[in-house]
Structure 1
Amino acid sequence: MVETFGQALRRLRGSMSIRELARQAHCGKSHVSDLERGRRALYRTQAVLYLAAAKLATRTGDHDLAWIAADRGQQAALAADAPVLVATLRRQIACVFHDTGRLADADQVITTALDALRRDGVQDEPDLISARGSLHLLGAMISTRCGGLAQARQQFAAAADQAHALGRDDNRLWTAFGPTNVAIHTLAAVTLDDPMQAIHVAERIDTRLLPAPLIGRRVRVQIDLARAHASLGEDATATVHILDVAHRAPQMLRYDTAARTVCSTLLGRAQGSTVSVLRAAAKQAGIAA
């Protein structure tokens, strides 16, 4: 005979107290919750791995791979319900657009990412502050390249506010965000238009405050100083800085467009013993002499 729902319930009640029924129901709900937490943790790990891959591909100039990794990471972060990771990966997508000259697309991605953070209402904590601040920094660089100086100043001011809120130099989610990184980006922006001012800005940057692994950020200051001095015709000083880059971070000279351009320019104008020294550095970096 087929047991009705009422009969089954009466039989169940006869063998199990209401308290036990409640406990079993809670355990079932907890099991589902545990599965959901596990699923989100898995997607979060996947997103972080894609972020690392996108960072590395960006650094080596593999823009196609960087875009694919960042986009897949973004999808994983969305599945993980991790808005800060989503924002960080969208910044990597914007980096690809920035580096390939698609500035309007890069700016749109930055705007979308910042709007999403505001809309999600995520509580301020170090990862969020770093993600938001690094978005503003990239936005400032995009505006600078587009000639929107007023917008660039607003973005730099917003980034400085976030750096102040963070209160230290850090490397949350590999953003390298903090007060010193804001100063380094300011230097990079100033170098484009006012090399003399860039030199003054650089004098106030203490890269020793950066976390130890951030060699690339320290070397970035040397690259921008080399560009500034080369623009002013001070090739001897520029050469000192570019050789320091070659010594401390040879991969930067190999993959960074600005560093390679400065090295080529200096080599083309070099005379005397400087020629052989620069040629050796250029050869090491794969730059045609």
Structure 2
Amino acid sequence: MTTNLTTGERVAWYRRRRGMSQEVLAGLVGRTVDWLSKAENNRLELDRLSVIKSLADALDVTLGDLLAEPTLMDWTPDSGTRTVPALRSALMNYRQLTPLLGVTTEGEPTPLDELRDNVAEVWDAYQESRYGFATRRLPLLLADVLIAAQAYEGQERDKAHELMAMTYQGAAMVLTKLGETDLAWIAADRGLAAAQQSGNAVVTGSLFRSVAHCLLSNGRFDAAVQLVGDASDYLRPGLSTAAPDFLSIYGTLFLAGSMAAARADDRSTTGAFLAEADRAARQLGRDANHVWTAFGPTNVAIHRVATSAELGDMQVAVDLGPQIDTSALPTERRTRHNLEVARALSAHNRVDDALAMVLEAERWAPEQVRSHYLARELVLSWVRNQRGRPSRAMADLANRLHVI
């Protein structure tokens, strides 16, 4: 049911399940009955998360319920046949909860240099949108970093906690992409605790970003804005002597905050956060990828497009989006930008151009496109609204996304 309905059709399904009339639901979200009827019948696109979140709140369901998240993760040669459930088991291992039981992990600790390479391998896979590979590797890597954090002493233990924090963050980022928002929150929370034990401000700042993304994916936009404000207060004293990795973490935190503010319909804060990120990017001086942030002027630019779309300024997104050269960015960033531009083009009834953007993104990152609600929603709405048979390219894409 979830993958074969548009967001509007899911709203109608949950509304009827709640025994609620269109008049009541429309009143709860401050809209007209005509608007809700059009949304439920795919004559009006629900393309802003702030609006979808208000409907989810009124229906007492999660944002993921209306977005059909999570979706089933496909088996691939990279993933094997043990995917999210294996990672869930690793995250819910009770041995990670408390030392009070006196349980210690068994096995020799992995050398820190080897562990660092393994963590980098997972993060590289995330940025290459190879979620199956990252999901397969993460359970074993989580076990390894836990053994290391218990076995090493002194500065080596601090390094082990840094690697543990980055492993949990990698898990949180991948799980967020897969729509597993509750599991992502567990991973981000554990990662932040490990980061604080490491005493490394850069790693701690990196985990703040991950927590912000988890709040975003759970529809807690105001809380994410507040977190970014609080975290920036914590990090700001380090700006005077900031190295490139610190600047990148600081700037990326504000990019996450700008998305949160846009989804909360807060234009002023969106602009302020983008301006702060832009200052950090200018100080950094170029596009880079310190601590896997892909931070720099280009990432700021693509967030200007994404926040414009979230605020409903689709013309701004249409005008700016295609002009941005993302070729030097990691695959994950390039793909996400293409989906944003496709959303804006679709809102202007330029479906052929939007389809071309999605198909290009799929060539770069098939796993990312197939797991993202925006790609599924766009393609399904195009198929639903076709007067005749959809084109072969559109129909084949819809089949690959499992939406028809």
TM over 0.5: yes
In the alignment, is residue 102 of structure 1 matched against residue 226 of structure 2? no
In the alignment, what sits opposite 1:218? 334
State the distance in 1 between where 2:167 and 2:358 align.
32
In the alignment, what sits opposite 2:380? 264
State the distance in 2 between where 1:119 and 1:161 align.
15
- Give the residue type in structure 2 aligned to 1:204: Q
In the alignment, is residue 129 of structure 1 matched against residue 257 of structure 2? no
Q: Which moved more, 1:167-176 or 1:88-97?
A: 167-176
Deviation readout 1:111-159 (Å, 9 max, x if unpaired): 2211111256783011110111011111111111222111111111110
Residue in structure 2 matching 1:244, options 345, 357, 360: 360
Higher Cα radius of gyration: 1
Deviation readout 1:161-183 (Å, 9 max, x if unpaired): 11111112122222221111111
Q: Identical aligned pairs, as a percentage?
A: 33
In the alignment, what sits opposite 1:36? 154
TM-score, structure 2 as length reference: 0.59
In the alignment, what sits opposite 2:271? 153
Count matched residues. Answer: 252
Unaligned 5+ runs, structure 2? 1-151
In the alignment, what sits opposite 1:52? 170
Unaligned 5+ runs, structure 1? 1-33
- Give the residue type in structure 2 aligned to 1:246: E
State the shift of 1:274 in Å. Answer: 3.6
- For the structure 1 residues 47 and 234, does the alpha-carbon distance in structure 2 shift closer, same or farther, using more than 3 Å as the test? same
Greater relative contact order structure (CA < 8 Å, 6+ sep): 2
8 Å Cα contact 1:137/1:185 also seen in 2: yes
8 Å Cα contact 2:212/2:257 also seen in 1: no
Query: SS of the residue aligned with 1:40?
Result: helix
- For the structure 1 residues 122 and 161, does the alpha-carbon distance in structure 2 shift closer, same or farther, using more than 3 Å as the test? closer
In the alignment, what sits opposite 2:321? 202
Query: SS of the residue aligned with 2:247?
Result: helix
- For the structure 1 residues 109 and 280, does the alpha-carbon distance in structure 2 shift closer, same or farther, using more than 3 Å as the test? same
Q: Aligned-residue CA RMSD in angstroms?
A: 1.9
Deviation readout 1:247-282 (Å, 9 max, x if unpaired): 222112221122221111112123556443222212
Q: Which moved more, 1:121-130 or 1:230-239?
A: 121-130
- Give the residue type in structure 1 aligned to 2:169: L
State the distance in 1 between where 2:354 and 2:340 align.
9
State the distance in 1 between where 2:237 and 2:278 align.
22
In the alignment, what sits opposite 2:204? 86
8 Å Cα contact 1:184/1:220 also seen in 2: no
In the alignment, what sits opposite 1:16? none
Deviation readout 1:203-233 (Å, 9 max, x if unpaired): 33111232xxx11211222211211111111
